[in-house]
Amino acid sequence: MNGMYPKNGRVILHVDMNSFYASVEMAYDSSLKGKPLAIAGNPEERKGIIVTCSYEARKYGVKTTMPLWEARKLCPELIIKRPNFDRYRAASAAMFDILREYSILVEPVSIDEGYVDITECGELGSPAEIAGSMQKQVLYQLDLPCSIGIAPNKFLAKMASDMKKPMGITILRKRDVPTVLWPLPVEEMHGVGAKTAEKLQTISIATIEDLAKANEIQIKKLLGINGLKLKERANGEDRRKVDPHSIYDFKSIGNSTTLPRDVSNQHELFTVLEKLSGQVEARMKRKQVVASSIAITIRYKDRKTITRNRKLINPAGRKEDILLEAKQLFLKNWNGNSVRLLGITATGLVEADSAIKQLDLFTYEKDARKEPLFDTMSKLRDKYGKGIIDSAGKALNKRENRTSPDQDTGFNKDFLRDRKPEKGKE
């Protein structure tokens, strides 16, 4: 069996759940099976969009991100369900528990997909046998379908898992790249979005083969260092390891909301920013981080979208500080037209305990008043241990997190926050 595994390389699976939210609803309610089903937020309002849909719905042309009204025109029999994130979170956790029965090297990418390194799992069977067993176990225990890609690296495994859906298993070797991947349009390559594809078109790159053979100087000038990485991927190269802890490495926390109607009243828009600031603060407290930059997103009624950010003098984590920066950014960049969507993102995150605050003329007096309290807390921690005094953020960490489907843009990575494996027990 070891002969089916490379001597120096890796064998990596990419497990991708098929129509995950819809499949979970069908597993929960078997009467939904075989019917056109869509998961959508706020179906009563215009911001209701299709989050995901069943394969039966897709036959009618229903697609993810499609407005609900358009989906109903295409499929009048469409069944609409609101998202149930608690249900999806539980199903996801159970799915990853199954994957960890095969290997300790499991890297969740989002709530419904992850990588598994099975290089050292030869005693369990061939890569195809392991993938088949894994797929059958997830289906039998959870009643959830998945597709699995088998490859020597993460990029090729991801590309392979997309090739047969639902319930497919695909092997993609590096030697297959010229015949299998290169003929594909470049926009079908993982990591190349619509905007990147448009840029590539300007230098006559239309297929993955064109990208694989592109001039490095030209591609770097167009896309920066990311262009060189994409060129490597197009040639089947990817040196990234499967890291079980990478899901917990995050660089930003953001919340956004689509407004029920176009709004041009400044006071109303400030009220929305205040609510978003509170949501970002709550999530930052749960993760015990502060931000070194704040960004806002404004989408106008014509769907033109801008994002602007500002680096902070002092790390921010309180609602008031986040709101102040967001308001200033908004006033500086708002053109006065009606707004359709607003968002706030905290970036450059660092652990609150290790953040270094630069005192300026305006914060010195306020911080000086708190200094005796900070000094006392520091002495208590030194004497009795770091956990002797828990902040409100850590208390929040112990509570059940209930998110709003329309406003928590970080759900895909928040879902595992309470399931971080202890070191040595991956």
| Domain with 164 in it | 2-17+95-134+147-171
pLDDT of residue 284: 87
In this structure, are 296 and 258 located in the same domain? yes
pLDDT of residue 404: 37
pLDDT of residue 85: 87
Q: Number of structural domains, the chain?
A: 4
pLDDT of residue 373: 52
pLDDT of residue 399: 41
How far is 133 from 158, CA to CA, in rounded Å?
19
Q: Name the residue type at position 60.
A: Y
In a domain, 368, yes or no: no
In this structure, are 11 and 28 located in the same domain? no
In this structure, are 267 and 352 located in the same domain? yes
pLDDT of residue 107: 92
pLDDT 10s digits, 368-408: 444 455 455 555 555 555 454 444 444 444 443 333 333 34
Q: Collapsing DSSP states into helix, strand and coil, what is residue 80?
A: strand
Q: Name the residue type at position 366.
A: K
- State yes or no: 16 annotated in a binding site: yes
Q: How many CA atoms lie within 13 A of 353 on its CB side?
A: 12
Please report, for the domain that includes residue 81, its CATH number.
Answer: 3.40.1170.60
How far is 344 from 322, CA to CA, in rounded Å?
9
- State yes or no: 382 annotated in a binding site: no
In this structure, are 110 and 193 located in the same domain? no
Q: Collapsing DSSP states into helix, strand and coil, what is residue 233?
A: helix
Q: Collapsing DSSP states into helix, strand and coil, what is residue 422?
A: coil
Instruction: For the chain, give percent helix, strand, coil, nearest 5.
Output: 45, 20, 35
In this structure, are 294 and 341 located in the same domain? yes
Q: Among residues 67, 85, 103, which one ends one of the domains? A: 85
The residues with which 147 forms a beta bridge, in sequence order, are 16
Listing DSSP states for 218-232 in one string gives HHHHHHTHHHHHHHH
Please report, for the domain that includes residue 208, its CATH number.
Answer: 1.10.150.20
pLDDT of residue 16: 96
pLDDT of residue 15: 98
Tokens of residue 279, six digits = 């949501």
- pLDDT, tens digit only, all 426 positions of the chain: 555 677 778 999 999 999 999 999 999 999 999 999 999 876 555 457 888 999 999 999 999 888 888 999 999 999 999 889 889 999 999 999 999 999 989 999 888 999 999 998 888 899 999 999 999 999 999 999 999 999 999 999 999 999 999 999 999 999 999 999 999 999 999 999 888 999 999 999 999 999 999 999 999 999 999 899 999 999 999 999 998 877 666 678 888 898 989 999 999 999 999 999 999 999 888 888 888 889 999 999 887 888 898 888 778 889 999 999 999 999 999 999 999 999 999 988 877 665 544 444 444 444 444 445 545 555 555 555 545 444 444 444 444 333 333 334 344 555 554 455 444 333
Among candidate residues 113, 209, 281, 325, the one labeled active-site is 113
Other Cβ atoms closer than 10 A to 322: 25
pLDDT of residue 110: 85
In a domain, 220, yes or no: yes
In a domain, 371, yes or no: no
In this structure, are 267 and 328 located in the same domain? yes
pLDDT 10s digits, 243-279: 887 766 667 888 889 898 999 999 999 999 999 999 9
56 labelled catalytic? no
